[in-house]
C-alpha cells in the first residue's frame, strides 16, 4: 500500500460527524501506528447547510456521493448512511468495483447484502470491513475472525441492542411504564426520536445475529424466517413479577447449531438475577461465545453510540493501513456453506405465562386442563387476587414444552370469557 492514503466519508449524521472529528484529532496517532499518511479528500451529506459543530470544507464536499468517484482518487471509503438498500448499497458496490476498501457500521446492509458484497470485495482484492456493525464497543467480529479462529463454535448468545436493554433496566429501576421509559430513551438519544421501531421489534438485533452466525459457523447469511419478538409488549407488571421470582427480562439474540441445523432467534428471555446476562444493565452489550477447545468466552462493553462505533470503525481503518487484506467473512466466499435451518416450531423451552382472569371458581382448572391437553407441564403457579375488582393474576412457569404447542394453546384462551386479556408468554433462558 502506498504511503499517502486518501479517505472519503459518506454520511455526516451522528456517526459520520463523530468519525470525521476523530480522524482529524487522531491523525498523528494513526500515522504513527501505521506508518501511513492519511488525508480526508471527500465528504458527502444531504445538506451542506445543516447546523453542525464543525465547519465543512466546501472544496471536498459532494452532495451526490457518486460524484466522489468521478473527481477524487480514493483509497478507503467509510459508508455511514445506513439502510440496507438505495444509496448505501450503491455507494459500497461502486467503491468495491473500483478497488476501494470499504468500512461500514451498517448492519442492515451487511445482513442483507453481505454475501454479494463480500464476493465483490474478494474479486477486486480489497477489504470490506464491518466490525462496527455488531456491538460497536466490543471487538466481537475480530474475535471470531482472528482471536478464536481455530475454535469450533456451538452457540453465541448476546444482549445486542442497547436501546432495549436500557428500557428494560430503567423500567425495573424506576417502576415506570414502557411508554414513559421509551420517551426517556428518546430524550437521551438512546432511541430514535421519530421511529424507534427497528430497535424495539427485534429487527436490529436479528441483523446482528445473522452476521454473528455467518462468522461463527462459516456459513452464508441466512435469509430464512426466524423466531423474532421485540419488547414492545413487555409490561411493568411482568418486570415486577420477574423480580419476585429472582429473574430479569432481557432481549437476547441467540444463534446455535441444533442437530447440525442453524437456529437463529431474537426474543425476550427471563434470566436469573445472579447470572452474567442478568447483570448486564443500561445501554451495555454483552456476548457469550461457546466453543471448543476454549469453552466459554465473554465480551462486554458499550454497544452503540458514536463513541463505541467510531472506535470500531477506526480499528478497521488501522487494520487496512497495516496491510491486512483479508476475506470479509474470514474464509473465501466459495468455502462458506449453506446450513439447513432448524424448524422454530420444534423449539423446546420452559415458559412464563401470565393470565389476567375473572376471580371465580374453576378458572384455574380451565387453564391447567387446557395446558395438559397441549402436553404443557406446570412447574410453578403464582396466583394474586384483586378482590376489589374481582380479578386475579395467574402466573404459570412451565417445564420444557414445544414452542408451537404453547402458542396454539395460548391462542385458544382468547375465546375464553373468563380470561380478560391475551395471555403473556416469555421464554426462560437456561
Q: Which domains does the chain carry?
A: 4-129 (3.40.50.720), 149-300+338-343 (3.30.360.10), 347-428 (3.30.70.260)
pLDDT of residue 50: 78
Three-class SS state of 83: coil
The conformation of residue 151, written as its DSSP 8-state character, comes to S
pLDDT mean for each 10 residues of the chain (430 residues)? 90 92 95 96 87 82 95 96 92 98 97 97 97 93 95 97 95 96 90 87 96 96 90 96 96 95 96 96 96 96 87 96 91 93 92 95 94 95 92 96 90 88 92
Report the mean per-residue pLDDT for the chain. 94
pLDDT of residue 1: 63
pLDDT of residue 430: 78
Q: Are 328 and 391 in contact (CB under 8 A)?
A: no
Phi-psi region of 155 (alpha: psi -120 to 50; beta: other; left: phi over 0): beta
Q: Is 3 one of the annotated active-site residues of the chain?
A: no
pLDDT of residue 223: 86
Q: Are 259 and 339 in contact (CB under 8 A)?
A: no
pLDDT of residue 56: 82
This prediction's pTM? 0.94
pLDDT of residue 181: 96
- Give the span between the Cα atoms of 209 and 222, in whole angstroms: 10
> What's the 3-state SS for 164-208?
HHHHHHHHHHHCCCHHHHHHHHHHCCCCCCCCCHHHHCCHHHHHH
| Active-site residue identified among 89, 112, 208, 219 | 208
Q: How far, rounded to the nearest angstrom, does the alpha carbon of residue 82 sit from its chain's CA centroid?
A: 14
Q: Are 80 and 92 in contact (CB under 8 A)?
A: no
Instruction: Count how many residues are written for the chain.
Output: 430
pLDDT of residue 47: 79
Residue 200 — φ and ψ, nearest 5°?
Answer: -75, -30
Task: Determine the angle formed by the axes of helices 107-123 and 203-217, rounding to 10 degrees.
Answer: 30
pLDDT of residue 407: 87
How do residues 266-294 score in pLDDT, each as one tens digit? 999 999 999 999 999 999 999 999 999 99
- Give the span between the Cα atoms of 424 and 422, in whole angstroms: 6
How do residues 235-255 score in pLDDT, each as one tens digit? 999 999 999 999 999 999 999
Three-class SS state of 66: helix
> Which of 240, 160, 245, 146 is CA-nearest to residue 202?
160
Amino acid at each position: 500500500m502506498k504511503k499517502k492514503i486518501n479517505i472519503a466519508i459518506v454520511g455526516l449524521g451522528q456517526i459520520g460527524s463523530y468519525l470525521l472529528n476523530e480522524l482529524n484529532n487522531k491523525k498523528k496517532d494513526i500515522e504513527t501506528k501505521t506508518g501511513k499518511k492519511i488525508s480526508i479528500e471527500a465528504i458527502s451529506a444531504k445538506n451542506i447547510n445543516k447546523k453542525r459543530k464543525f465547519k465543512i470544507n466546501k472544496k471536498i464536499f459532494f452532495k451526490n456521493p457518486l460524484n466522489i468517484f468521478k473527481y477524487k482518487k480514493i483509497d478507503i471509503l467509510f459508508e455511514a448512511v445506513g439502510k440496507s438498500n438505495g444509496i448505501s448499497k450503491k455507494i459500497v458496490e461502486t467503491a468495491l468495483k473500483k478497488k476501494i476498501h470499504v468500512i461500514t457500521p451498517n448492519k442492515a446492509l451487511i445482513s442483507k447484502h453481505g454475501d454479494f458484497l463480500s464476493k465483490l470485495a474478494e474479486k477486486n482484492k480489497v477489504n470490506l470491513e464491518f466490525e462496527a456493525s455488531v456491538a460497536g464497543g466490543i471487538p466481537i467480529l475480530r474475535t471470531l475472525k482472528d482471536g478464536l479462529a481455530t475454535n469450533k463454535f456451538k452457540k453465541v448468545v448476546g444482549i445486542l441492542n442497547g436501546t432495549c436493554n436500557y428500557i428494560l433496566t430503567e423500567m425495573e429501576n424506576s417502576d415506570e411504564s414502557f411508554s414513559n421509559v421509551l420517551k426517556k430513551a428518546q430524550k437521551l438519544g438512546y432511541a430514535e426520536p421519530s421511529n424507534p421501531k427497528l430497535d424495539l421489534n427485534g429487527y436490529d438485533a436479528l441483523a446482528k445475529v445473522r452476521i454473528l452466525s455467518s462468522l461463527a459457523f462459516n456459513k452464508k447469511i441466512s435469509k430464512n424466517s426466524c423466531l423474532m419478538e421485540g419488547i414492545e409488549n413487555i409490561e411493568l407488571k411482568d418486570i415486577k413479577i420477574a423480580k419476585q421470582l429472582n429473574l430479569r427480562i432481557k432481549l437476547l439474540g441467540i444463534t446455535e447449531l441444533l442437530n447440525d441445523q442453524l437456529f437463529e432467534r431474537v426474543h425476550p428471555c427471563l434470566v436469573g438475577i445472579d447470572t452474567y446476562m442478568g447483570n448486564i444493565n443500561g445501554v451495555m452489550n454483552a456476548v457469550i461465545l461457546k466453543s471448543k477447545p476454549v469453552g466459554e468466552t465473554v465480551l462486554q462493553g458499550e454497544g452503540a453510540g458514536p463513541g463505541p462505533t467510531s472506535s470500531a470503525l477506526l480499528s478497521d481503518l488501522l487494520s487496512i493501513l497495516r496491510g491486512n487484506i483479508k476475506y470479509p467473512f474470514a474464509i473465501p466466499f466459495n468455502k462458506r456453506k449453506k446450513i439447513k435451518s432448524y424448524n422454530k416450531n420444534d423449539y423446546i423451552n420452559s415458559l412464563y405465562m401470565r393470565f389476567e382472569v375473572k376471580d371465580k371458581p374453576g378458572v384455574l382448572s380451565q387453564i391447567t386442563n387446557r395446558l395438559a391437553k397441549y402436553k404443557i407441564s406446570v412447574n410453578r403457579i403464582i396466583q394474586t387476587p384483586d378482590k376489589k375488582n374481582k380479578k386475579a393474576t395467574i402466573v404459570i412457569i412451565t417445564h420444557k414444552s414445544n414452542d408451537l404447542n404453547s402458542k396454539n394453546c395460548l391462542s385458544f384462551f382468547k375465546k375464553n370469557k373468563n380470561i380478560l386479556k391475551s395471555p403473556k408468554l416469555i421464554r426462560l433462558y437456561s
